[in-house]
């Protein structure tokens, strides 16, 4: 089955072609980061308008990569939520129009299920069951995964997601959007140990996350440095290092607890923040201590992309699922509500 995947949940337009027999045949992505950087974050209306302009050229591009025509497509998958409602509507309308025109099935895919399954596109994918850390600008979740659609939420963020905290902390430091890569780059010159930031909610049992207090602690640290006339570039680098270290260590502590609670021997990390090198290194160490193996997607598939949507959609289509209802994007959509796929 040849499936086109379309991702338009936020500020990246992703299109890909996946073949259930041959794997990924082509993929392309347009990022709106430069456009939104002037505003310090995503402007929903601008994001929606830009998706409209990009979808047709990107579809033509990936079909050319795959040496296919539209008539070769067997089905289309698209992100149906969660995400920005306008952006979701653009992708859903385009995908369903394509399915109507070609008389092929379509299926709406859960954005976070796409991220969770992104490591399946690698040469050595994880087997079920596993613990998944989904960590991005909008989500920080630990999930017990026993199969496609078989998800138990172990822990969630009670306030800011980790990626959102990175963005807000970066803004405090005068760094551009998106904040995660900017802080990671600045932290390379930081001095380990100069600052010690708290590890939120690690002093109590449980797998919930909270990063709003860490954000406030960062602001107070910056303001104190200003008052002491010590907000040099080196001080900012030291603060960036301490902030990143605190987020990474918090995530690592919770991942270790999740591995111990489930007794699983595989840990998957996915989502934009999963590209962070310090996080990958720390979780590799944590997994080794628990006799487990860490899996993650290639950097290009950590951020939003069409390949993960094509793959996730293909698995559900092969199981006989498809949509017949009117277009109904879901800005909020709990992953536990998804149906299980029999394999």
Do the beta carbons of residue 63 and residue 102 sit within 8 Å? no
48 annotated to a ligand binding site: no
Nearest to residue 158, comparing CAs of 113, 214, 109? 214
Q: Is 167 annotated as a binding residue?
A: yes
Annotated ligand binding at 135? The verdict is: yes
Q: Closest by alpha carbon to 238, among 202, 187, 277, 164?
A: 187
Confirm whether residue 306 is marked as ligand binding: no
Residue with tokens 């590890």: 199
- For residue 180, say whether it is annotated as part of any ligand binding site: yes
Q: How far apart are CA 135 and CA 199, in angstroms?
A: 16
CB atoms near residue 83 (< 10 Å): 27
Question: Was 134 annotated as part of a binding site?
Answer: yes
| Residue 298 CB partners (closer than 8 Å, separation 6+) | 121, 122
Annotated binding residue 137: yes
Q: Is 111 annotated as a binding residue?
A: yes
Binding residues for Fe cation: 111, 115, 304
Binding residues for substrate: 134-138, 167, 180, 276
Binding residues: 111, 115, 134-138, 167, 180, 276, 304
């Amino acid at each position: 089955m040849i499936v086109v995947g379309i991702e338009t949940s936020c500020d990246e337009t992703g299109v890909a072609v996946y073949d259930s027999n041959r794997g990924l045949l082509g993929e392309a992505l347009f990022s709106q980061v430069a456009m939104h950087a002037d505003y310090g974050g995503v402007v929903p209306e601008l994001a929606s308008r830009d998706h409209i302009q990009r979808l047709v050229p990107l579809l033509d591009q990936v079909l050319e990569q795959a040496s296919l025509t539209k008539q070769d497509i067997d089905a289309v998958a698209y992100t149906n939520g969660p995400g920005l409602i306008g952006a979701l509507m653009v992708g859903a309308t385009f995908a369903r129009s394509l399915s109507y025109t070609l008389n092929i099935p379509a299926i709406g895919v859960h954005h976070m299920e796409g991220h969770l399954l992104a490591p399946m596109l690698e040469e050595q994918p994880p087997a079920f069951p596993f613990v998944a850390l989904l960590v991005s600008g909008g989500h920080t979740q630990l999930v017990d995964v026993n199969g496609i659609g078989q998800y138990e939420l172990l822990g969630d963020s009670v306030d800011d997601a980790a990626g959102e905290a990175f963005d807000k902390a970066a803004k405090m430091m005068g760094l551009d959007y998106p904040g995660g890569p900017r802080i990671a780059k600045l932290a390379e010159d930081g001095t380990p140990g100069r600052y010690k930031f708290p590890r939120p909610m690690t002093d109590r049992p449980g797998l919930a996350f909270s990063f709003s207090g860490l954000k406030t602690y960062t602001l107070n640290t910056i303001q104190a440095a200003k008052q002491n006339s010590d907000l040099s570039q080196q001080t900012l680098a030291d603060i960036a290092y301490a902030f990143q270290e605190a987020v990474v260590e918090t995530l690592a502590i919770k991942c270790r607890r999740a591995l111990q609670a489930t007794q699983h021997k595989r840990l998957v990390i996915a989502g934009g923040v999963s590209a962070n090198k310090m996080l990958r290194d720390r979780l590799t160490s944590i997994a080794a201590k628990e006799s487990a193996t860490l899996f993650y997607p290639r950097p290009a598939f950590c951020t939003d992309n069409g390949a993960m949507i094509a793959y996730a959609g293909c698995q559900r289509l092969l199981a006989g699922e498809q949509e017949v209802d009117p277009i109904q994007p879901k800005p909020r959509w709990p992953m536990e509500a998804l149906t299980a796929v029999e394999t």
